[in-house]
Amino acid sequence: MAEKEYVYFPGCSLEASAIEYDLSVRKVLGALGVKLIELDDWSCCGSTPAHSVDHGFAAAVAARNLALVEKMGHSTLITPCPACLSAFKKAHLRMEKDKDFQKEVNSLLDEPYQGGVTAKSVLQIIYEDIGIKAVAEKVKIDLPDLQVAPYYGCIINRPPAVMEFDDPENPVAMDRLMEAVGIKVCDFAFKVECCGAAFGVTKRKMVNELSAKVLAMALEAGANCLVVTCQLCHQNLDLRQEQINRTMGTSFNLPVLFFTQVIGLTYGFSPQELGIDKHNINAEPLIKSRRPVEERIKEEEEKAKAKKPKPKKAEEEES
Partner 1 sequence: MRVGVFICHCGNNIAGTVEVAKVAEEARKMPGVAFATTYMYTCSEPGQEEIKAAIAREKLDRVVVAACSPRMHELTFRRTVEKAGLNRYFFEMANIREHCSWIGEDKELNTNKAIEAVKIAVEKVKQNKPLFPSRFKINKRVLVIGGGVAGMQAALDCADGGLEVVLVEKSPSLGGMMARLDKTFPTVDCSICILGPKMVDVSQHEKITLYAYSEIEEIKGYVGNYQIKIRKKATYVDWSKCTGCGACVEKCPSRNAYDYFNFGVAPCRAINIPFPQAIPKKAKIDPKFCRQFTKGKCGVCAKICPVGAINYEMQDEIVSEEVGAIIVASGYGLIDLDKLPEYGGGRYPDVISGIQYERILNASGPTAGHIVRPSDHTEPKTIVFVSCAGSRDKSIGIPYCSNFCCMYIAKQAILTKDHIPDSQCYVFYMDIRSPGKGYDEFTRRAQEEYGVKYIRGRVSRIYPKGKKLVVKGADTLLGTQVEVEADLVVLATAVIAAPDARILAEKLHISYDPYGFYVESHPKLRPVETNTSGVFLAGACQGPKDIPASVGQGSAAAAKVLSMFSKDTLESDPQIARVNQNICVGCRKCIRTCPFGAIEEQELRDGRIVAKVIETVCAGCGICNSTCPCGAIQLQHFTDNQLLAEVNALCLT
Binding site for partner 1 (CB under 8 A): 167-170, 189-190, 193, 217, 220, 316, 319
Least distance to partner 1 from the beta carbon of 226, Å?
A: 16
Closest to partner 1 by CB, 150 vs 275, is 150
Contact in structure between 263 and 177 (CB atoms under 8 Å): yes
- Smallest distance, Å, CB 223 to partner 1? 14
Nearer to partner 1, 188 or 269 (CB): 188
Residue 113 or 188: the one with the smaller Cβ distance to partner 1 is 188
Give 302 or 316: the residue with its C-beta nearer to partner 1: 316
Q: Which of 93, 251, 255 is nearest to 161 (CA)?
A: 93
CB of 148 to partner 1, least distance (A): 18
- If we measure between CA atoms, which residue out of 105, 104, 87, 101 comes closest to residue 43? 87
Smallest gap from residue 99 Cβ to partner 1 (A): 26
Question: Shortest gap between Cβ of 126 and partner 1 (angstroms)?
Answer: 24
Rounded CA-CA distance 288/294 in Å is 17
- In the complex with partner 1, the residue whose CB is nearer, 53 or 206, is 206
Q: Which is nearer to partner 1, 179 or 193 (CB)?
A: 193
CB of 317 to partner 1, least distance (A): 8
Q: What is the spatial distance between Cα 135 and Cα 288, in angstroms, rounded to a whole number?
A: 22
